[in-house]
Amino acid sequence: MPLPAMLRETGSTSSRAWALRRRRSTGRPTRWWAVKGLALSLLLSLVSPCPIQAADQLEVTFDGVVIPVDITDLVAWGRSGGVSNTELGIWLDLLEPASRRGMLELLRAPLITNRSMARQMLDSWAGRRLLDEVADLVRVDDDTVGVTVLNTLEVLLSKQPHVTSLDLLEALPAKRVRLDLDGLLGVAEHWRGQLKHQQALVNRLDQIPITAVAPSQSISIDATTGRTPLPQALTVSHRPRPLQLQLWQPPAERFRSNARERPWIVLMPGLGGSPDHFRWLGRLLSAKGWPVVVLEHPGSDSEAVGAWLQGRRRPPGAEVLPDRLKDLEAVLQAQTSGSLPVAGNKVVLVGHSLGSLTALLAAGLRPQPGLERRCRKALDDLPLSNLSRLLQCQLSAVPLPSIEPPSQLLAVVGMNSFGSLLWPRTRPVRLQVPVLFTGGTLDLITPPLNEQLELLVATAPAPGSGAVVVQGASHFSPIRVEGQAGESKGNDLFQLGEELVGVQPLQVQALLGEEIVAFLEGINATSSSAMPSLVHRQVGELHLHRIDPAGAASLLGGS
């Protein structure tokens, strides 16, 4: 499944799960056991009344019971659209119409829709890791690492443009395929537990008294200025082509008295991100007097992800971090030498997602010992509900360059940041500068409870640090795409639906911009003791929470 489609499906599932949890909170009974009962009745209906041969056999393990299903009959039923006259078909006809249609769709839907992209994905570190986990749940004979499935997919993809579940079942060169439904239910239960933790966080945040209520935020930041960045090419030794930068210079009137003493800002997009996604933030911060340089990281930008979706390269992962760190080091050196026309004696690193991780690594943090052990536990279930875990665990196989933290570093801002496996709060590290982490309660890629709040406690940052959590915001809320303000989605690679963007993305961006500005202006404040550890603001229909390290520790509790 292509990454945007996979994320779209994950986001859609999360939206439905959130809606279900909200219904539960109103007192309606849980339907979890009903779902398990439906799965059991479905599997019992698959049992053939007569013994079947060992060859071409699908075995479903449920509650310790092995239920045999004839693959040939199952494929015939699926390909006929559910009108097969086999004994299995007769039993499947006893299913409710909705369940029967759902099973048909599952069997006939394409597992892989792009031959070249799938090959690149399966050949990547993340793809092989996922395949290893799938092999624990779908066992082909005695293959424990998924080689048979991988080889079969390769053969099928060489003959046809896409592969369905029926194609794969029919082509597997095996005597027995075992589906561990107990394991799948365990994975689902684990995901459900993660969602419950997120909902518990929302409930705890809702209990904080509202300290400020304001009308809906204005979203006219872009319209008031109409300014555009200055493109800049920077030649670097570690890349064959110059780095492409966007420079946002403050208006001339901002260069008065002590304006030049303000720090300059480096902004780094996330994996697959583009500098254009963050024009709204570059425009805002420069209008407030901070020079801003936005990096484009070749190999992990929107062009690289587009090339993967077209099957021309592997999907980028944590292996891009060394080059990203060198990109940042080159920009810092160019500013110091004067070859980059940006004023400022201090620098603030700002990043989104992987860009935030780049900033934390550049600030001097290195993964705590024991990452491989933590990853074995964290990836024991299919890690699709928290994709950042794959990137963190891949980092154990990536040699990071020895880069000293920049002497001019003043602060770090991480939007939808992650790194809880790299820096667990049980083994805190010391971040020497203030940090602001921002996140949203609909983010299941880097969940705020497991990532931003964990990081705020684990990095033991300098005074003035905190986190901002916006209810209804997602991992992609900070991304501004062409046409987002209107009905059109534009031509951007990220064709994001509401289930991924979250609620009111432009309003969320306005709030995040306001919070980042307040953080930057308060970095040099002499005292921050007057601020309570937990602040609940309501702006229009949005609820925003400011959280300091002590407040984060209390919210995490025993989770």
251 Cβ neighbours under 8 A, 6+ residues apart: 286, 287
Report strand pairing: 264-268 vs 347-352. parallel
Mean pLDDT of 381-400: 79
d(CA 324, CA 330): 10
Q: How confident is the model at residue 44 (pLDDT cuts 50, 70, 90)?
A: very low
Can you read off the two tokens belonging to residue 237? 């030794």
Within 13 Å of residue 159, how many CA atoms lie on the same side as its CB? 10
Mean pLDDT of 512-528: 83
SS3 of residue 409 by DSSP: strand
pLDDT of residue 12: 37
CA-closest candidate to residue 378, choices 418, 432, 338, 340: 418
Question: Tell me: the pLDDT tens digits for 133-162?
Answer: 666 667 787 776 667 877 787 788 778 877
SS3 of residue 145 by DSSP: coil
Question: Tell me: the pLDDT tens digits for 337-365?
Answer: 999 999 999 999 999 999 999 999 999 99
Amino acid at 201: L
d(CA 320, CA 504): 32
Q: Which segment of 150-164, 329-343, 469-483 scores lowest on mean pLDDT?
A: 150-164
Q: How much of the chain exceeds pLDDT 90, in percent? A: 36
C-alpha angle 519/520/522, rounded to 5°? 65
- Secondary structure (DSSP) of 44-69: HHT--SS---STTEEEEEETTEEEEE
Report strand pairing: 243-248 vs 292-295. antiparallel
Question: Tell me: the pLDDT tens digits for 238-261?
Answer: 999 999 999 999 987 655 545 557
Within 13 Å of residue 225, how many CA atoms lie on the same side as its CB? 20
Mean pLDDT of 8-26: 36
Question: In sequence order, what are the beta bridge partners of 352?
Answer: 415
What is the model's pTM?
0.76
